[in-house]
Amino acid sequence: MTSEQDLVVATVRDVLAGFEPFALTAERPWDAGLWAALADAGLTGVGLPEEAGGSGGELADAVAVVRTLAAGAAAVPVAEQLLVAGPALLAADLDLPDPARPCSVAVDGVVHAEPVDDGDGPGRWRLTGTATDVAWAGVASSVAVLAAAPAGIEGAVLALVDATGLASSDARNLAGEPRGSLVLAGAPASGALLTPARVAGLRARYALARAVQLAAALEQVLAWTVQYAGERQQFGRPLGRFQAVQMELAEMAGEVSAVTALTDAAVQTLARGEDVVLAAAAAKVRAGSAVEVVARLAHQVHGAIGFTQEHRLHHLTRRCWSWRDEAGSELTWARVLGVGLLAGGGDDLWPALTRVV
Amino acid sequence: MSSSLTLAPAPPSEAAEVVRAQVREFLAAELAAGSFTTHVDTWLSGVDPAFSRKLGERGWLGMTWPREYGGHERSAMERYAVTEELLAAGAPVAAHWIADRQSGPNLLRYGTEAQRREILPRIAAGECFFVIGMSEPDSGSDLASIRTRAARNADGDWMVTGAKVWTSNAHASHYGIVLVRTTPADPADRHAGLSQLLVDLSLPGITVNPIRILDGGHHFNEVVFDDVVVPGDMLLGEEGAGWHQVTAELAFERSGPERFLSTYPLLAEFGRRACDSGDSAQLATLGRLSARLLALRQLSLRIAAALDRGELPDIPAALVKDVGTTFEADVIDEVRRVVDVVPSLDSPDPLGRALAEAQLHAPGYTLRGGTNEILRGIVARGLGLR
């Protein structure tokens, strides 16, 4: 991390310090106050160019914002906006919505796009269908929706839908983060046709965004667990003095280091503008598979208190248990990676592996 | 995370990619010519001095050492690419592996000028092979408890008595760097009084007894020292500083790609199977295993980059070896679960053979170079727990 990103991290932490994570409910599905504070500080536009209405900065800066907020269990759609929807809209030459108003992304479900001439110029579409598993449905003011292109046209349409007033179902993930469906009944939207490669790239970005969040959350879970093991006394000494506990913490550290190393490398691949599909797939699968070990051992070391909503641990472990299968399940991305690595044939596996990141 | 565990990402190295392509071309030609066949865990079992000499001729041994000692002054990142390609191809690299990986760097750090001039160029040429002289029959993980003794005689030479064990390829090597006790053990400071000696394995009084591993292969030995007279100038480094020197040596020993690629030839064979079958479960398993391998590569590359910066990252190296060797063994069972295959060294199916080789070598992965329990202890220290 450069000093630039250190500064970004410090700024986000300053804002974050004024807000405590809380158990999300249908009544309080996100942290609107935190979002407003982040938006006031220009942090909801980091990594998006100023001429497009963003705050400027590089991908690394946006990743630093997302990591810091993920580690803080911040209930705001920043990963979706800064790492997925924003860059995807820009890449498709579409206008960015105001970064102060949360924008999410929808890549699942059955939605069809038909071109319309509604008097708002070219690039207008009408979207019909149901977008499912929409992160922050009901919270996001706008959603970048990936919709099937009209019959006979390759690729898909990315369209920015105004989500205010749209019906959304109340589904939530294991941490209570909104993941409902959006019903689109001929919603008008500006959009652009994406090639299949760009569609794959968009899905990969989304997966990488979740991997980045997972990496940060797992690092924090490890830090909390090491801290707890150093403080909690049993049999007259701290838990961390017991070899059995040390072995567990070392195993967690191994997993977390592996996740961070691969996720960082995948982010760098994206920053270099290279094809990121296999890198993102690998990062997502590796981060997801670490959750099993890290979350399990974190709860084991924390004991019963970590199993309660009184303790902070669940804010991150519940998120990790969901994030690992969001933006494409672990199984989906494992297959993408397996198929992609064999694209050049069974004898090409090793060269393919050395090309991924 | 604790800073002692975290290393900066490795910057991309174009030079490494250039030499990688050269090694790949060389290996393809050697395979085509039938000069070797691919096997699992060849850095233990693939002894082929002629192959080692070929690598030496191409400048792929002693790569990072100064030219004046026969080295090539290339980066650790370039060396990483070379070693990784050799391991992935399952090439016979065991003869020179220890000398190139750790004995040479140890001599560079601690050797006398005469020792360096005499030995390093021969290692770099692929003509001089080394063994590790650390473990003993009664001293495995508890290395400080070794009992092999060395005492100066009237001529100033060292009289060495004791035994080393699990000594890979001692029957095919020229020298050992042997950890000995040069002053009696002090219970208050167990790490004091240890020294390293550079021992010519052809000296009178040295007996090499084979120890066969599970597949019947002869790689391990017991090396017995019976009043062996080691010339006085064969002390390596400082008398009494053996523990410190061994710790540095282990950082080299623990950080390389051989700590996660020992079973790569099995994964490669599995990849061919998954490609042929198109089976969805096999493809997903290949994806999962590949994601683990890719993460390990990044961790190991970070260590190579740290070595290039002149650091000696012993704690991250312990972590990589723990995660990496666990992966090596996991490949076996992950593959078994999704392929109908019976492991046998005699199998007509190359996947069955690779599986058999990997399985029969598996107990060693998480033992050699420091057991994973010891490694996790080191990581726990890095986390501030001990």
- Chain A residues with CB under 8 Å of B334 CB are none
Q: Could you report the per-residue pLDDT of B260-270, keeping only the tens digit for each?
A: 999 999 999 99
Confirm whether B3 is domain-assigned: no
Residue A121 has pLDDT above 90, yes or no: no
Architecture of domain A3-194: Beta Barrel (2.40)
Mean pLDDT of A147-163: 96
Q: What is the pLDDT confidence band of residue A1, given thresholds at 50, 70 and 90?
A: low
Architecture of domain A198-356: Up-down Bundle (1.20)
Mean pLDDT of A286-314: 98
- For residues B253 and B376, membership in a common domain is answered with yes
Q: What is the CATH number of the domain that holds B377?
A: 1.20.140.10
Residue B252 has pLDDT above 80, yes or no: no
In angstroms, rounded to a whole number, what is the distance separating the alpha carbons of residues B264 and A338?
Answer: 15
Range of the domain at B120: 14-129
Instruction: List Cβ neighbours of B160 (8 Å cut-off, separation of 6 or more).
Output: B148, B149, B150, B178, B180, B197, B199, B225, B227, B228, B229, B230
Q: Say whether B22 sits in a helix, a strand or coil.
A: helix
Best interface-test mutation with B: which of A257, A264, A289, A341 has the largest number of B CBs within 10 A? A257
Do B283 and A254 make contact, defined as CB atoms within 8 angstroms?
no
Residue B357 has pLDDT above 60, yes or no: yes
Q: What percent of chain A has pLDDT over 70?
A: 100
Confirm whether B1 is domain-assigned: no
The dihedral of CA B57, B60, B61, B62: what is its sign? positive
Q: Could you report the per-residue pLDDT of B280-295, keeping only the tens digit for each?
A: 999 999 999 999 999 9
Do A337 and B287 make contact, defined as CB atoms within 8 angstroms?
yes
Contact A54, A96 (CB under 8 A): yes
Do A265 and B88 make contact, defined as CB atoms within 8 angstroms?
no
Q: Could you report the per-residue pLDDT of B16-37, keeping only the tens digit for each?
A: 999 999 999 999 999 999 999 9
- Chain B residues with CB under 8 Å of A260 CB are 1, 6
- Decide: residue B310, CB within 10 A, 0-12 exposed, 13-18 middle, 19+ buried: exposed
Confirm whether B7 is domain-assigned: no
What is the count of structural domains for chain B? Answer: 3
In angstroms, rounded to a whole number, what is the distance separating the alpha carbons of residues B9 and A269?
Answer: 12
CA distance B105 to chain A (A): 27
Cα angle A125, A148, A162; round to 5: 45
In angstroms, rounded to a whole number, what is the distance separating the alpha carbons of residues B279 and B273?
Answer: 9
- Chain B interface includes A67 (CB < 8 A): no
In angstroms, rounded to a whole number, what is the distance separating the alpha carbons of residues B113 and B120?
Answer: 10
Confirm whether B31 is domain-assigned: yes
- For residues B125 and B145, membership in a common domain is answered with no
Residue B2 has pLDDT above 60, yes or no: no
Mean pLDDT of A337-355: 98
- Chain A residues with CB under 8 Å of B84 CB are 354
Is residue B253 flagged as an active site residue?
yes
User: Domain end: B76, B99, B129, which one?
Assistant: B129
- For residues B353 and B289, membership in a common domain is answered with yes
- For residues B375 and B250, membership in a common domain is answered with yes
- Chain B interface includes A351 (CB < 8 A): yes
Q: H helices of chain A, where? A: 3-16, 32-40, 59-71, 78-79, 86-91, 196-231, 243-271, 277-302, 313-323, 330-341, 349-356
Confirm whether B304 is domain-assigned: yes
Do A261 and B379 make contact, defined as CB atoms within 8 angstroms?
no
Q: Say whether A325 sits in a helix, a strand or coil.
A: coil
User: Domain end: B240, B272, B287, which one?
Assistant: B240
Strands, E, within chain B: which ranges?
A: 130-133, 149-152, 158-165, 175-181, 194-200, 206-212, 218-230, 235-236
Q: What ranges do the domains of chain A cover?
A: 3-194, 198-356
Q: Could you report the per-residue pLDDT of B150-183, keeping only the tens digit for each?
A: 999 999 999 999 999 999 999 999 999 999 999 9
Q: Among B84, B253, B328, B357, which one carries the catalytic annotation?
A: B253
Beta bridge partners of A161: A143
Query: Is the ipTM, as predicted for this complex, more than 0.95?
Result: yes
- For residues B206 and B314, membership in a common domain is answered with no
- Chain B interface includes A339 (CB < 8 A): yes
Nearest in space to B263 (alpha carbons), one of B51, B87, B79: B87
- For residues B295 and B227, membership in a common domain is answered with no
- For residues B110 and B169, membership in a common domain is answered with no
Confirm whether B198 is domain-assigned: yes
Contact A40, A81 (CB under 8 A): no
Q: What is the CATH number of the domain that holds B180?
A: 2.40.110.10
Q: What is the pLDDT confidence band of residue B386, given thresholds at 50, 70 and 90?
A: confident
Which residue in chain B is spatially nearest to A256 when comparing CA positions? B1
- For residues B263 and B214, membership in a common domain is answered with no
Q: What is the pLDDT confidence band of residue B3, given thresholds at 50, 70 and 90?
A: low
CA distance B77 to chain A (A): 14
User: What pTM was estimated for this model as a whole?
Assistant: 0.97
Name the helix (H) or strand (E) containing B32. helix B14-33
Residue A2 has pLDDT above 80, yes or no: no
- Chain B interface includes A282 (CB < 8 A): yes
Mean pLDDT of A295-300: 98
Nearest in space to A247 (alpha carbons), one of B325, B51, B378: B378
Size of interface A-B (CB pairs under 8 A): 164
Q: What is the CATH number of the domain that holds B78?
A: 1.10.540.10
User: Domain end: B189, B214, B240, which one?
Assistant: B240
